Amino acid sequence: MAVLEVKNLNAGYGKIQVLWDINLNIEKGKIVALLGANGAGKTTLLNILTGSLKPISGEVTFKGERIDAVSSDKIIEKGIAYLPEGGRLFPDMTIKENLEMGAYHRKFWAGKDKGLERIYKLFPILAERKKQLAKTMSGGERQMLAMGRALMSSPELCLFDELSYGLSPKMAQAVFAVVRQLHDDGITIFLVEQNVRQTLEIADFAYVIENGRIVMEGEGAALLEDDYIRQAYLGI
């Protein structure tokens, strides 16, 4: 069953079209990935899914309800969380304060304490350093904090943009291990990444976007063995 479905989507900025006829499904409980280089259209699609950009044509549905004309705050309220590239933390706020910002919406504030308990269990280092300022954390720790903040609203679907960006290989592995844990906990994940190998190793299904069009799709393990993917993205 598709939790989120994109049908015949076209989008752009002003007179410049960026996406052409995008079709994709995100199945409930799955890790679905969108792979592509910089400028391929990944961020534009995320802008549509999060309500910050309206499409030229086409539609987006979440649990059968159209959301392509819905505001960003209403999309969050419906159960979609978004972690943008770089996390966009509040550097001069503490770890705890940053996490609480993930539950700022009145719908989620009542469950803030339970949310903190859940995040601290998932990321023990955040509990240990909850009074520490975000700007004093390492890159990997900041990414974990950003993930934790996104999870404070108990979302059904998480949209993760470039989780591994700027991280060391070791820390990237740790972040992807958390994605696996969230998957095991039943959270549906849409992972937008340039780190092709590690993404395909954990993705149930993946799409490849080039120049604003979906050019390939398939199970993660199958795409990892595809000759084109190996040559174009893995350098093998």
Q: Give the domain range for residue 214.
A: 1-79+157-168+188-236
Same domain, 57 and 8: yes
| Tally of domains in the chain | 2
In SS3 terms, 40-104 reads as: CCHHHHHHHHCCCCCCCEEEEEECCEECCCCCHHHHHHHCEEEECCCCCCCCCCEHHHHHHHCCC
pLDDT attached to residue 106: 58
Edge-first strand order for the sheet with 213-219 is: 80-83, 157-161, 188-193, 31-35, 205-210, 213-219
Same domain, 95 and 125: yes
Indicate the pTM of the whole model: 0.90
Q: Are residues 48 and 102 in the same domain?
A: no
Do residue 107 and residue 74 come from a single domain?
no
- pLDDT of 117 reads 86
Q: Note whether 52 and 161 are same-domain residues.
A: yes
Quote the CA–CA distance of 37 and 45 in Å, as a whole number. Answer: 14
pLDDT of 187-222, one tens digit each?
Answer: 999 999 988 999 999 999 999 999 999 999 999 999
CATH number at residue 68: 3.40.50.300
pLDDT in tens, 144-200: 899 999 888 888 999 999 888 888 888 888 889 889 988 998 899 999 998 899 999
**Is the domain of 203 the same as that of 227?**
yes
